[in-house]
Amino acid sequence: MATISFNAAEVQPSSFDALPAGTYEAVIANSEAKPMKSGNGMGFNFEFEIISGDCKGRKVFSWITFEHRTSPDAQRIGREQLSAICRAVGVTQLNDTAQLHNLPMMITVAIDKNDPTRNVIKAYKAKRGTGNGERGTGTGTTSVQQQGAGAPQGAGATQGAPWAR
């Protein structure tokens, strides 16, 4: 048994419900390269943070396959998705996924038809007025998370972030 003093009325609970389908302004707050569990390649986990509107602060996570030794189609689709993200934020030569962090873009989110507790990102587009050139689209399975009240806002929401001005 542990003795504590905690008033639940002072802290809002987090919501892990899927975001409503729609288009949201977001930034990539974090990214990580990881090998596939199957050992057949590697990809990237991207953490998107919604930066405006009613869902501000909510997170959407997406896996994008970059290399796949046994499925050229999976590799092609993943690279198309990565190209769409790069074009949406105006990065044409990508050397490190950190180059994509904190750059505003619009993401179109839908409910996963196989799991209504999850979202899928259907498109990545430039935020109007950014002049980021041609826009691409891509799809990927994602999940969402809302940060609790008083929680740190993650890598993308540090003071002075370009989108926070």
Rounded distance between C-alpha atoms, residue 102 and residue 26, angstroms? 9
pLDDT in tens, 127-161: 987 656 443 334 444 444 433 333 333 333 334 45
- Confidence check: pLDDT of 37 > 80: yes
Among the listed residues 57, 41, 39, the one whose alpha carbon sits nearest the alpha carbon of residue 49? 57
Q: How far, CA to CA in Å, does 129 sit from each of 86, 111, 125?
A: 16, 28, 12
pLDDT in tens, 56-83: 999 999 999 999 999 999 999 999 999 9
**What DSSP state is assigned to residue 100?**
G
Question: How far, rounded to the nearest angstrom, does the alpha carbon of residue 65 sit from its chain's CA centroid?
Answer: 14
pLDDT score recorded for residue 130: 61
Rounded distance between C-alpha atoms, residue 111 and residue 14, angstroms? 19
Beta bridge partners of 59: 49, 145
Sequence-distant (≥ 6) Cβ neighbours of residue 130 within 8 angstroms: 89, 90, 104
pTM: 0.73
What average pLDDT score do residues 105-121 get?
Answer: 95
The answer to whether the beta carbons of residues 146 and 122 sit under 8 Å apart is no
